[in-house]
């Protein structure tokens, strides 16, 4: 009996030693690797740990160690440190750089040495002015309303002229709007159409216009989507539908453009603090448009108090968002410079979690999680009257 326990103790010591050595090697090898910060990486580590326990409990020491070592080797190969291309003054066009993610991206990529073409909705606005004052001479501000075909063509000609013999390496479709957040039945058709114009048709036209330049460079097309475009979220019917369309467009182009050497990536960020939700003045205007377009029976069923409370939901959104935009910036940089970029990225703390819940859990559980996360208050009048 003593010999048995002594042998088990020795086996455990060997397994622990191998685990420590492997852990130290993985830590130092992946400390700057973005993959080491993602959910799949930690999931892989957990499965590897479970496999180690099974090997220790069910197999002879030599065979168990051999299989565990092989699993460690496979894990290392699957989480290899990505090969990054040099910046080397690569040219990038970014839409929607007046504020938010686009503004931060323009500054970040400029600081790394990229030649940045920053498309803005208002070239005389405070965002454009700040970019001119704080960034290097490599950055050019372009007037670019992505719903205006004439401005898109003019931006193309200006970019082509300034590049001269150089190539456009990257196009980042970032410009987007949230529109008014409310129940899908309540939203006006103008809200649906505006979201589709800015969040889908605009990026499609910009991509179609600039793809000939990307084809020459075998560069990168990056579309900034949203978690609302990959999973259904209450009160984001217009916004989510437009982003879902952009997501499908991106996936299709990823397959079609691969033969040209162009790599396409789409980002599904979780909530980040930007100005996309609009201002109280804009909410008041959208609210009046909504009230004016509702039929009497819909207005009666929901109740004006319920409709007026939708602004409270919009004002609550920033409290659910992250202020630090660095996860988005890092993922965009990886999509631009990694030799083998991912097809999609999920920057943000809860992005991957809710995507997994929507795919692998019952729908009732996913719906419950969504309502709890968004903290949706209020009940329509007709439902209150039945109680």
DSSP states of 54-121 as a string? HHHHHS-HHHHHHHHHHHHHHHHHHTPPPPB---TT-EEEES--SSHHHHHHHHHHHHTT-EEEEEES
Q: Are 242 and 200 in contact (CB under 8 A)?
A: yes
Q: Are 123 and 97 in contact (CB under 8 A)?
A: no
| Strand 115-120 versus strand 140-143 pairing type | parallel
φ and ψ at 221, to 5 degrees?
-115, 120
Q: Are 269 and 224 in contact (CB under 8 A)?
A: yes
Active site residues: 239
Strand segments (E) across the chain:
91-94, 115-120, 140-143, 168-173, 220-224, 263-267, 344-345
Cβ neighbours of residue 123 closer than 8 Å, sequence gap 6 or more: 141, 142, 143
Euclidean distance between CA atoms 333 and 170, whole angstroms: 10
Tell me the torsion sign for CA atoms 101, 102, 105, 110: negative
Cβ neighbours of residue 324 closer than 8 Å, sequence gap 6 or more: none
Cβ neighbours of residue 371 closer than 8 Å, sequence gap 6 or more: 234
Q: What residues does each domain of the chain span? A: 2-78, 91-374
Tell me, what DSSP letter sits at residue 34?
Answer: G
Q: Which two tokens stand for residue 225?
A: 């989507």
Q: What pLDDT does residue 4 have?
A: 41
pTM for the model stands at 0.79
Cβ neighbours of residue 125 closer than 8 Å, sequence gap 6 or more: 98
Closest by CA to 97, choosing from 26, 31, 174, is 174
**The CATH fold of domain 91-374:** Rossmann fold (3.40.50)
Q: What is the pLDDT along the chain (387 residues), one digit of tens a residue?
A: 444 444 455 666 766 777 777 767 666 655 545 544 555 666 666 777 777 778 777 778 778 778 877 877 777 766 666 678 999 889 999 999 999 999 999 999 999 999 999 999 999 999 999 999 999 999 999 999 999 999 999 999 999 999 987 899 999 999 999 888 888 899 989 899 999 999 999 999 999 999 999 999 999 999 999 888 888 888 889 999 999 999 999 999 999 999 999 999 999 988 777 777 666 677 778 878 888 888 889 888 888 888 888 877 776 666 666 778 889 999 999 999 999 899 989 888 777 777 778 888 888 888 888 887 777 767 887 777 766
Q: What pLDDT does residue 279 have?
A: 67
Euclidean distance between CA atoms 341 and 373, whole angstroms: 31
Euclidean distance between CA atoms 238 and 182, whole angstroms: 9
Output the CA–CA distances (angstroms, integers) from residue 379 to 153, 314, 373, in the order listed: 47, 17, 17
Q: What is the dihedral of CA 278, 280, 282, 285, to 10 degrees?
A: 150
Euclidean distance between CA atoms 102 and 108, whole angstroms: 10
Q: What pLDDT does residue 176 have?
A: 92
């Amino acid at each position: 009996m003593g010999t048995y326990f002594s042998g088990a103790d020795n086996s455990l010591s060997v397994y622990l030693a191998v685990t420590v050595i492997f852990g130290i090697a993985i830590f130092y090898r992946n400390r700057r690797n973005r993959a080491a910060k993602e959910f799949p990486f930690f999931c892989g580590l957990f499965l590897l740990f479970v496999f180690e326990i099974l090997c220790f409990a069910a197999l002879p020491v030599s065979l168990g160690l051999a299989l565990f070592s092989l699993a460690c080797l496979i894990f290392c190969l699957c989480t290899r440190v990505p090969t990054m291309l040099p910046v080397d003054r690569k040219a990038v066009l970014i839409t929607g750089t007046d504020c938010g993610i686009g503004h931060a991206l323009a500054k970040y990529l400029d600081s790394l040495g990229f030649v940045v073409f920053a498309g803005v909705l208002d070239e005389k606005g405070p965002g454009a002015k700040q970019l001119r004052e704080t960034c290097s001479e490599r950055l050019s501000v372009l007037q670019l309303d992505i719903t205006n075909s004439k401005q898109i063509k003019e931006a193309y000609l200006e970019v082509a002229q300034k590049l001269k013999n150089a190539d456009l390496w990257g196009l980042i479709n970032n410009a987007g709007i949230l529109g008014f957040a409310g129940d899908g039945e309540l939203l006006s058709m103008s809200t649906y159409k505006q979201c589709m114009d800015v969040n889908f048709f605009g990026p499609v036209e910009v991509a179609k216009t600039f793809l000939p330049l990307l084809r020459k460079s075998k560069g990168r097309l990056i579309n900034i989507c949203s978690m609302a475009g990959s999973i259904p979220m209450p009160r984001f019917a217009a916004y989510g539908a437009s982003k879902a369309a952009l997501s499908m467009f991106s996936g299709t182009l990823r397959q079609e453009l691969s033969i040209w050497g162009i790599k396409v990536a789409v980002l599904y960020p979780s909530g980040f603090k930007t100005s996309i939700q609009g201002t109280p003045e804009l909410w008041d205007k959208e609210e009046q448009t909504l009230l004016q377009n509702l039929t009497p029976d819909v207005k009666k069923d929901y109740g004006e108090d319920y409709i007026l409370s939708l602004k409270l939901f919009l004002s609550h959104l920033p409290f659910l968002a992250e202020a630090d935009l660095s996860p988005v910036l890092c993922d965009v940089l990886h999509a631009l410079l990694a030799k083998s970029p991912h097809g999609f990225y999920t920057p943000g703390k809860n992005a991957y979690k809710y995507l997994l819940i929507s795919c692998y859990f019952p729908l009732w559980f996913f719906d419950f999680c969504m309502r709890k996360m968004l903290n949706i208050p209020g009940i329509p009048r007709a439902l209150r009257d039945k109680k």
